[in-house]
Chain A
Amino acid sequence: MDPSKKVADRYLKREILGEGTYGVVYKAIDTKTGQTVAIKKIRLGKQKEGVNFTALREIKLLKELKDPNIIALIDAFPHKGNLHLVFEFMETDLEAVIRDRNIFLSPADIKSYIQMTLKGLAFCHKKWVLHRDMKPNNLLIGSNGQLKLADFGLARIFGSPDRKFTHQVFARWYRAPELLFGTKQYAAGVDVWAAACIFAELLLRRPFLQGTSDIDQLGKIFAAFGTPTPSQWPDMVYLPDYVEYQYVPAPALRSLFPMASDDALDLLSKMFTYDPKARITVQQALEHRYFSSAPLPTDPAKLPRPTPKSRPSDFNPQEGPTVLSPPRKSRRVMPDRDRFEGNSNQVEKIDDHVGEARPAVGDHAGKSDQVPMSVDFSIFGSKPLSRPTINSADRSHLKRKLDLEFQHND
């Protein structure tokens, strides 16, 4: 195929950037704006299930999330039977910055990167969207140095009380302790914990808590912050997968981050609070004095970035942590689980969706305390269909009455 062929009468196709989670990503020029873009070609599912579910989730949320610190979905179009998503082109990602040994990150640079991360996240949370997959290679960096949250394939709208979610989200190293203990009623705090891990990673220049299994992940967390006591986190013992860990005292946070400022440490400790209810919110984190005290965050355009390679930025080769954890019903303690490690993200994403397809059946059974939301009179009613709720006789009577009332308002 001619590599510079115009797609959808608008995009000049350039080189392939690589393979994303659900299809090929290639670079292109938008002839309408002259802008360089990244186009994700969404492979149609093999099971004849139309537009990929994860892609649809991403489209749905990104159409609602327009913010300087969130990747922009510029366009979407069908072409030759496949759906194509057009994103702004991003040069690199935060993981590449952190890993690049030639880059020196000053305290002001770190502040700038984490501030942009939190700003993007704050916007999501304001719109009641949980990202659920925060990690450095999902934080893309544009040519002007702007950091943007990407990969909303796992994101969910939250806010309904008692809504049950799967705990199998996030790459393990960024997973909050409540998720590792199997909670299904988590909230925005899980993203805060992940952001804290990213903050720590910026300071240390290596992933902070590199667990090799979920059990080990909790062990690493407790080794860093001490085993949580019930007074620190009262709800912990009630979590589905809670297991008692041997008590380890917390080392001084300062000893883990010798180079960090007092303000940075204070913010970090508030973001790493065990009890999700007591954990700082993203908005509060942004208002923390760390961001207003010297040194002020570096102007994004002046941030150090890796020398641009052909390395694609819109997807990630599966290095770094894998996300696999045992199927949702099984207990955490499971020998041999690690041999599944090779399976990577994708499996998990599918799992996630299968688990959620029918939340009402298993999870809610016997626990119907929330009356009106799930009661569906039309579906379960005896004669639900074409029969209107009010008949004509009612109607004229009502209409007269309606007219009478509130007449003083006219």
Chain B
Amino acid sequence: MAANFWTSSHFEQLLDPEEVDVVHQLDKDKGLTLEEFKLIKMHMTNCILKLAQSVKVRQRVVATAVTYMRRVYTRKSMSEYDPRLIAPTCLYLASKAEESTVQARLLVFYIKKLNSDEKYRYEIKEILEMEMKILEALNYYLVVFHPYRTLAQLLQDAGINDMSMTQLSWGLVNDTYKMDLILTHPPYLIALACMYIASVHREKDITTWFEELRVDMNVVKNISMEILDFYENYKISDERINAAFSKLDFNP
């Protein structure tokens, strides 16, 4: 989308990391830690991806869905807004908002196909009801910008046309959705950070190109560090996820 990011609601709504890394009081009361909170969001990002693969929607839709989900949890608790319902509903809403509607019954069909765990198996009715609540939680702001388009332009501008660089930076951008970066940084900076990591990894020296850009390279570097920190701590296991969910599912 080429709409103007700087005058968009997305830009206005960018948050500080400290605002994003807050476990809702209700969840805290159940013993959910910040680590577990992040872990569940990461796990649900994967769930959205899996579901999206089944129903075959564009990457844009996935990215928007994940952004919606992450925005919801800056305002709402996981105790009240079950991630296992929020995730598919965000995909449903994003598919509409990105003009590639997926039918709710198709979504439910695949949810059931992909998940044997009863706790994931929600019905159409529940998704449609949750859609309305998500809209409210998002304060009806639906336009989201993503790094993909910018990345393609930047790669071209930097004169990079070998597939391995493109693929690596593209994959890195995909991985950033497992973090909350899209809530805290403008998409073009995320794109630059991914390009930067890719260039260092592939030992492609584009330092001059970076220096000619009118961007604060320290910011880009910091984002790159955040991404690399994420890879370091990237440990997702069923046990940890189940442990986190069992805390949420516990009703005294």
Contact = CB atoms under 8 A, between A and B. Distances in A.
Judge: A and B partners, yes or no.
yes
Chain B interface residue count: which class?
A: 35 or more
Contact of A373 (B131, B148, B196): B148
Given A48-B104, A402-B225, A83 B197 contact: no
A408 to B, nearest CB: 10
Interface of A is mostly: mixed
Contact of A64 (B9, B124, B170): B9
A59 B140 contact: yes
Interface stretch (B22-30, B32-40, B95-103, B182-190): B95-103
Contacts of B234: 388, 392
Interface string B86-108: 00000011001101110111000
B175 A388 contact: yes
Choose among A44, A73, A371, A379 the residue with the greatest number of B CB atoms under 10 Å from its CB. A379
B232 interface: yes
Contact of B2 (A128, A358, A399): A128
Given A385-B49, A389-B171, A406-B221, A48 B4 contact: no
7 contacts: A57-B99, A81-B129, A128-B4, A372-B151, A373-B149, A384-B49, A405-B200
B172 interface: yes
B96 to A, nearest CB: 5
A44 B127 CA distance: 14
Given A63-B140, A83-B135, A372-B152, A390 B197 contact: yes
Contacts of B7: 127
A78 interface: yes
Contacts of B97: 56, 60
A312 B3 CA distance: 33
B58 interface: yes
Interface string B214-228: 000110010011001
Interface in B206-248: 207, 217-218, 221, 224-225, 228, 231-232, 234, 236
Contacts of A160: 1-2, 149
A401 to B, nearest CB: 5
A220 B77 CA distance: 60
A377 B141 contact: no
B168 interface: yes
B231 A386 contact: no
Contacts of A128: 1-4
Interface of B: 1-4, 7-9, 46, 49-50, 52-53, 58-59, 62, 92-93, 96-97, 99-101, 103-105, 124, 127-129, 131-133, 135-136, 140-143, 148-149, 151-152, 155, 166-168, 170-172, 174-175, 196-197, 200-201, 207, 217-218, 221, 224-225, 228, 231-232, 234, 236
A376 B231 CA distance: 21
A385 B42 CA distance: 11
A376 B142 contact: no
A379 B52 contact: yes
Contacts, number: 172
B107 to A, nearest CB: 11
Contacts of B221: 402, 406, 409
B132 A390 contact: no
Interface of A: 44, 48-51, 53, 56-57, 59-61, 63-64, 73, 76-78, 81, 83, 126-129, 156-160, 353, 356-360, 371-379, 381, 384-386, 388-392, 394-396, 398-399, 401-402, 405-406, 409-410
B149 A377 contact: no
B172 A390 contact: yes
A377 B170 contact: yes
Contacts of B8: 64
Contact of A378 (B105, B174, B197, B231): B174
A127 B171 contact: no
Contacts of B218: 406, 409-410
A335 B145 CA distance: 45
A374 B104 CA distance: 24
Contacts of A357: 99-101
Given A78-B132, A373-B152, A386 B236 contact: yes
B57 to A, nearest CB: 9
B58 A51 contact: no
Nearest to A401: B200
A51 B207 contact: no
**8 shortest interchain CB distances as A-B pairs:** A159-B2, A372-B152, A389-B171, A378-B174, A60-B142, A128-B3, A376-B59, A50-B128
